Structure 1
Amino acid sequence: MTDTPRILISYAGPDRPWAEWARWHLEHAGYGTELDCADWKAGDNFVERMHQALDRANPMLLLLSTAYLTQDRFTTDEWTARFAQRRKDPEAKLIPVRIGSVDLGKGIWAPIVVPDLFELAPAEAVRLLLEAVGGVLGPAASSSAPEPMYPGGPEPVASADSGPRPPGSLPPVWNVDHRNPAFTGRDGVLNQVHDGLSGGGRVAVQALHGMGGVGKTQLALEYSYRFAGEYDLVWWVFAEQAGLIGEQFAALGVELGIVDAGADSAVAKSKVLGYLAEQRRALLVFDNVVNSEDVLPWLPRGSGHVLITSRRGNWQRIAHAVELDVLSREEAVRFLVEQRPGLDAGEAGSLAEALGDLPLALAQAAGYLTETGMAVAEYRQSLVEETQAVLALGRPVDYPQSLAAAILLSLSALEEADPAAVAILRLCALLAPEPVPIDLIVEVARPADPYPQVLDALREVIGKRLARQDAIGRIGAYGLARLGEGTVTVHRLTQAVVRSQVGPSASAELLAHLESVLGGMNPGDPRDPAIWPAWGRLLPHLLAVDPARTDDPALRECVRDAVVYLINRGDSRPAQQLAENLYEEWKERLGADHRDTLRAATELVWALRDLGEYGRLRTLTDDTLNRQIKTLGPDDPDTLRSAADHAVVLSALGHYQRAEEIKRDVWVRRRRVLGAEHPDTLMSMNNVGTSLGELGRHEEALTIKQQVWEQRRRVLGEEHPDTLMSANNVATSLGELGRYEEAFALKQQVWEQRRRVLGAEHLHTLTSANNVALSLGELGRHEEALTLKQQVWEQQQRVLGEEHPHTLTSASNVALSLRELGRDQEGLALIRQVREQRGRVLGEKHPDTLMAGLSLAAVQFSLGQRLLARQLVDGVWKELRDLLGAQHPNTQHAAELRSAITRAMGGRGGGGRRR
């Protein structure tokens, strides 16, 4: 008995998406297929498998393209072998189809009818494929698949069951830049990335990394186009500045129709990530990521795909890393020959060697040779000298002269046509390569005294709406900017060329003016979510003028508020990086005791605390507070803020009693200096309530927390983040006092509000989710509690890192639920891990570490490991008694466990009786 013949799909490497498309539709029509990338195992000998496939009497589908008919590919052997078989056996089935614009009018293919499948409506391409196969093989044996439905006409958008669209058809949601028509090679890497992303299960993440100029972005761009038919959504995120990712997610949310224009990035993030979690056919590309932590909070859950490009290679925790090397010599030569017609292969090889096969250098060389006709030998020598000079200066070799010349030509023409347009362009060249709001341009160019000379052409135009818009329109018409609704976006390379045409003194004058205006555009309270969209629009341009080096006091204040905005929005890592830069630069330029330096230190403390980086906190807060007391006095608001920070750090480090004393003192001082209902005073009152809870004085804590909550609702509003913090604190105290139903109801309310206001993965939202899970356990709903705790733990590992104190608290909570469900062995392993990690992160004598030890002893006791449990609980009890006092609830809990173990051991400190 022989196997039913299957259709062997023969294709070239770049055409793999077509092969997979054909396979999907043939299989769903009822035909059997054989495709190497799908049916052959890793480690198989490709040549041997292909020889076996060609030896069988199976039909062969040929996907003809320029790549397929290239002489040096294996495909040549495949199709010529099948033609040879047909000479001996006319029944050998051959089914050619054309999937690209390749000339078949000559040679062996000329008399053969070959249908075209490319540049057709998706449904038409499927119909022609099935007709071509059915005309040779007859109808399929069986077919239960529904008729595929695709976009591109009256058909509805593709669903998860309708299969891939033909390669080349773009998905409905798409923001990817133009494809590079000169892209060459990389088939193996592209297919490796595709295989990695298509593994199924949770979100697949691939990170392309390598040196500058190696082509990471170009490869991601090619992947997006080559496999576009498999996706319903492809969204490109420029991720070099982590603080700007949120705005790009907001733009995706607007495109999807799930976020209103102008919504803050926290809400957009929550909604977009929630949407993506349900999408199987979605691809996000994060381009030029600096640190893995920058994108960690933005990775969606579900089964979509994520592709990252970065110069850095430390991606083990969140992605499968794919290191991108230079092109192979064969690929490099082919690229040069294709881009420079008439170039000898030998010359191309020597040039590729001199260039080190670096893709960007190859592209520059090909462009320059084509433009100038310079001899390869001369260019090769010049290039070596120029490369050395560039590397010595630290400049990237990614600035093509031909592009610079084109920009200069357009710039010259624009200056002749509209000097006001060039003035706007010069202004934008000093800002970020992100959308510049026209309102910002108007504010900067508003007539003032003094007025930058380089903006003179704008003096009479900027206040005239139509004339101003005409000038902006010309910038777009000359190809020097991309115009959006109320925005102008200038590419970074165009910016560099424009800046180079402005003299040093004129640039310095414009920059000083720009700094002054930006400093005065502070949107307001960075802790108020209602103002966050305005902060999101301003932030990239604040960063572009290098505020760490400014001499403008208002700009320094504005950029410090920007740090607070990032922290409150939940972007603690970008906040820490910005605050660190400000603090170090101002310490050097202004002095360690300057008020702005000390204020930058307080923002850095806040960011480090949210990141769980406690190691630096104590030294930094001590130094900052001592300097402020000396230079500003003990009652200055800045000093009081640092004192409050110092106390919060002491609490985080487990010094609860001293922390409470300082918090209470700061509260008294702030009432006197700022007033009873100032937000800072209410924060101090809140901190006192938190400390009372840490000390086990829960009735007193509840009274204060309720007062703060009421005042904040009146002063700040029901859903201000500080108000929600107070509500959460009240719920925590209710739970500590055994009022579980009340606590559960309030925790659920706060969780829902935080998800709406801050987003699902904000630090505070995850805290609320954990609190709800704890309440479920307190109410005896242990299965539900465990499910939610595990979800939160997984999110915190991704968002905060595996050893963040909050993450370790979540792990401890999971271990507690495992124990409550009788899964003691699992709980034992997890709580032991938590104890080790807390000891390493927080210290062996931190209260949280000691409580993990107490939990470990409880699990050991339940498993009958009484001696181990007794030894451990004795040490924990003594440490808690010395640290927190004998009456603290945690100390008493340890004493109770110690007594229970002693009783079980027969009232003795030894091994007890055998039973």
Structure 2
Amino acid sequence: MGWIVDFYEAMPPGARDAVAWFATVLGVGVVGVAAWFRKTLSAAAASAWHRLTAILDHQTHPVSDKHLRRRVFGREAQMAALDATLAAGRTAAVAPTAGVVGGAGVGKSTLARHFMQQRGGNYDRTAWFDAESAGTLMQQMADLPGLDLAAEGPLADRALRAKACIEGEGPKRWLVVFDNVEDLTLVDRFMPTGAHIHGIFTTRQTVAETPSRTPVVTPPLDPAEAVALLQAEAEREDPDAAALAEDLGRLPHALVQAGEWLSLNPGATFAAYREKLVDVIDEWPRIEGEPDDYYRPMGAAIALNLEEVAKDRRTGPDEQALLRLLPWLAPEGIDAKLVLDVADGQFASHPDYAPDIPADLRSLAADPARLHRALTRLGERALAAASPDEDGPNRTVALHRVTALVVRRRLARDAPALRRAAAAVVAAGYPGEAKHVQYSA
């Protein structure tokens, strides 16, 4: 029953885009392809395909990214570089695109969000797009509210019409962000340009200087900035802070992980944490294609926080239920409603999804107070970015991509069942419901 879901999950992003592209070329979209499958395949295969379409629908309609809760340390030079690059675009009447460049965990997306938070008031409209895959980016652009866009036609054409509409909105000032760009040709093709538009994209790729594009390199933090971030997260000073910051490569994501662990364990010294970190690093497997000294400290810091979850008898089981779900969903995050909607009573019209969803997750879905406590705790541990609980069912939660990678590695043995569970949650919780990109008008 889950073979199509498993096949889809194993696809690289480009292959997933090809699935969406094929459906668009047929002129019927993913839903139309699903209808064809229902007519030609067995009921079990059709059910699996329905789950696949739900995953696609969820991945291409992300929730709003509303939270930048932690203070940003350093990055004054990068903020100034972004200001200078975008200001040069205004004087030249061509908006250059500032590429925020750096590896995972170095704070590229955080810098872009910080810029939007600090400078967003200078613009009439802002829009944030998740650009890790072409399909996600194009769908978000096609669904951008507030523009006069036709709802029909090939997805790429609809995205290009959105680009043209933004370019035609002068003199209204726009700030547009493409986050986590893997394929730089997407920037060339879809990033709106014009004197009234400022564009930023984040990427791990090498970006060359061009007349219309300036790379803003985002290195690890300076030693003093790294110590300040670590001690702020730990809520105390320690003579071994500088040494621990170096152990962690001065990477913001790793420093936050360590700081939160120390904050939740006030009796532990920084030196004691260093010993724990070294033990985990020594056992940490190398990630193919990445330097050992880059990912291993960050992965080890995340692993130590995951161990704390397992020890917590109060909220730990509920946190673990969420951590078995979140890594298999879209990296831009979900809202609490996705979980709340799969409580036992919600399966009246979708009984075929219930068997694949673990009992602990169904129990958590039936108790909003427990769910929100678990989300809050994951946020406190820096294992997830969670918006305030007053958002209720619209509360958002997302895992950092490296955190999701670490969790998936730890759960590798159970991955097939967990992928099916995640697909069933999405299919049962959001059958056909659209979700839109962050947008302010």
- For the aligned pair, the TM-score class normalised by the smaller chain equals 0.5 to 0.7
Q: CA deviation at 1:219?
A: 1.3
For the pair 1:206 / 2:98, whether they are aligned, the reply is yes
Q: 274, 296, 308: which one pairs with 2:164?
A: 274
Query: 1:327-338, aligned counterparts within 5 Å?
Result: 327-338=221-232
Q: CA deviation at 1:250?
A: 3.6
Aligned to 1:491: 398
Query: 1:589-604, aligned counterparts within 5 Å?
Result: none
Q: CA deviation at 1:225?
A: 1.6
Q: Give deviations 1:247-304, integer Å, cap 9, x for gaps.
A: 22244x22x2545889984465244323321345211121221121233322102121
For the pair 1:347 / 2:240, whether they are aligned, the reply is yes
Aligned to 1:387: 281
Structure 1 residues 499 and 180, CA, compared in 2 at 3 Å: closer, same or farther?
same
The separation in 1 between residues aligned to 2:308 and 2:434, in whole angstroms, is 34
SS of structure 2 residue aligned to 1:392: coil
SS of structure 2 residue aligned to 1:314: coil
Query: 1:855-894, aligned counterparts within 5 Å?
Result: none
Answer whether contact 1:214 1:326 (CA < 8 A) is retained.
yes
Structure 1 residues 489 and 348, CA, compared in 2 at 3 Å: closer, same or farther?
closer
The separation in 2 between residues aligned to 1:495 and 1:263, in whole angstroms, is 35
For the pair 1:184 / 2:68, whether they are aligned, the reply is no
Q: 282, 290, 304: which one pairs with 2:182?
A: 290
Q: CA deviation at 1:327?
A: 1.4
Structure 1 residues 410 and 236, CA, compared in 2 at 3 Å: closer, same or farther?
farther
The separation in 2 between residues aligned to 1:425 and 1:350, in whole angstroms, is 31
Query: 1:760-909, aligned counterparts within 5 Å?
Result: none
Q: CA deviation at 1:228?
A: 2.1
Aligned to 2:16: none
Structure 1 residues 492 and 404, CA, compared in 2 at 3 Å: closer, same or farther?
farther
For the pair 1:309 / 2:202, whether they are aligned, the reply is yes
Structure 1 residues 444 and 307, CA, compared in 2 at 3 Å: closer, same or farther?
farther
Q: CA deviation at 1:230?
A: 1.4
Q: CA deviation at 1:342?
A: 4.7
Structure 1 residues 272 and 371, CA, compared in 2 at 3 Å: closer, same or farther?
same
Structure 1 residues 208 and 476, CA, compared in 2 at 3 Å: closer, same or farther?
same
Q: How many residues of Structure 1 are paired with residues of Structure 2 in the alignment?
A: 332
Structure 1 residues 228 and 377, CA, compared in 2 at 3 Å: closer, same or farther?
same
Structure 1 residues 517 and 194, CA, compared in 2 at 3 Å: closer, same or farther?
closer
Answer whether contact 2:318 2:374 (CA < 8 A) is retained.
no
Aligned to 2:217: 323
Aligned to 1:367: 260
SS of structure 1 residue aligned to 2:94: coil
For the pair 1:432 / 2:330, whether they are aligned, the reply is yes
SS of structure 1 residue aligned to 2:220: coil
The separation in 2 between residues aligned to 1:498 and 1:245, in whole angstroms, is 26
Q: Which amino acid aligns with 1:274?
A: A
With the length of structure 1 as denominator, give the TM-score of the two structures.
Answer: 0.30
Q: CA deviation at 1:239?
A: 1.8
Q: CA deviation at 1:315?
A: 4.4
Q: Give deviations 1:53-76, integer Å, cap 9, x for gaps.
A: xxxxxxxxxxxxxxxxxxxxxxxx
Q: 336, 357, 365: which one pairs with 2:250?
A: 357
Structure 1 residues 501 and 188, CA, compared in 2 at 3 Å: closer, same or farther?
closer
Q: Which is helix-richer, 1 or 2?
A: 1
Query: 1:551-562, aligned counterparts within 5 Å?
Result: none
Moved more, 279-288 or 319-328: 279-288
Q: Give deviations 1:567-623, integer Å, cap 9, x for gaps.
A: xxxxxxxxxxxxxxxxxxxxxxxxxxxxxxxxxxxxxxxxxxxxxxxxxxxxxxxxx
Q: Structure 1: which 5+ residue stretches go unaligned?
A: 1-173, 416-421, 462-467, 522-532, 538-915
Query: 1:31-430, aligned counterparts within 5 Å?
Result: 176-199=65-88, 200=90, 201-251=93-143, 253-254=144-145, 256=146, 258-259=148-149, 265-266=155-156, 268-277=158-167, 278-279=169-170, 281-303=173-195, 304-316=197-209, 319-344=213-238, 347-372=240-265, 373-390=267-284, 392=286, 397=298, 400=302, 401-402=304-305, 405=308, 410=315, 412=317, 430=328
Answer whether contact 1:215 1:359 (CA < 8 A) is retained.
yes
- Aligned Cα RMSD in Å? 5.1
Answer whether contact 1:202 1:302 (CA < 8 A) is retained.
yes
Answer whether contact 1:205 1:306 (CA < 8 A) is retained.
yes
For the pair 1:454 / 2:358, whether they are aligned, the reply is yes
Answer whether contact 1:429 1:496 (CA < 8 A) is retained.
yes
Structure 1 residues 411 and 333, CA, compared in 2 at 3 Å: closer, same or farther?
closer
The separation in 2 between residues aligned to 1:502 and 1:349, in whole angstroms, is 33
Q: CA deviation at 1:190?
A: 0.8
SS of structure 1 residue aligned to 2:74: coil
Q: Which amino acid aligns with 1:307?
A: I
The separation in 2 between residues aligned to 1:406 and 1:219, in whole angstroms, is 28
Q: CA deviation at 1:185?
A: 1.2
Tell which structure's C-alpha radius of gyration is larger.
1
Q: Give deviations 1:682-722, integer Å, cap 9, x for gaps.
A: xxxxxxxxxxxxxxxxxxxxxxxxxxxxxxxxxxxxxxxxx
Aligned to 1:880: none
The separation in 2 between residues aligned to 1:331 and 1:410, in whole angstroms, is 33
Answer whether contact 2:319 2:374 (CA < 8 A) is retained.
no
Moved more, 398-407 or 195-204: 398-407
Answer whether contact 2:325 2:421 (CA < 8 A) is retained.
no
Q: Give deviations 1:23-52, integer Å, cap 9, x for gaps.
A: xxxxxxxxxxxxxxxxxxxxxxxxxxxxxx
Structure 1 residues 367 and 478, CA, compared in 2 at 3 Å: closer, same or farther?
closer
Answer whether contact 2:357 2:421 (CA < 8 A) is retained.
no
Answer whether contact 1:203 1:306 (CA < 8 A) is retained.
yes
SS of structure 2 residue aligned to 1:313: coil
Aligned to 1:34: none
Answer whether contact 1:404 1:497 (CA < 8 A) is retained.
no
SS of structure 2 residue aligned to 1:245: helix
Q: Structure 2: which 5+ residue stretches go unaligned?
A: 1-62, 289-294, 376-385, 436-441
Q: Give deviations 1:388-422, integer Å, cap 9, x for gaps.
A: 5436256672674547856975463599xxxxxx6
The separation in 2 between residues aligned to 1:293 and 1:406, in whole angstroms, is 41
Q: CA deviation at 1:341?
A: 4.9
Q: Which amino acid aligns with 2:398?
A: H
Answer whether contact 2:100 2:202 (CA < 8 A) is retained.
yes
Answer whether contact 1:332 1:352 (CA < 8 A) is retained.
yes
Q: Which amino acid aligns with 2:129?
A: V
Q: Which amino acid aligns with 1:230?
A: N
Q: CA deviation at 1:496?
A: 7.6
Answer whether contact 2:248 2:254 (CA < 8 A) is retained.
yes
The separation in 1 between residues aligned to 2:326 and 2:348, in whole angstroms, is 10
Answer whether contact 2:107 2:252 (CA < 8 A) is retained.
yes
Q: CA deviation at 1:207?
A: 0.5
Answer whether contact 1:182 1:339 (CA < 8 A) is retained.
no
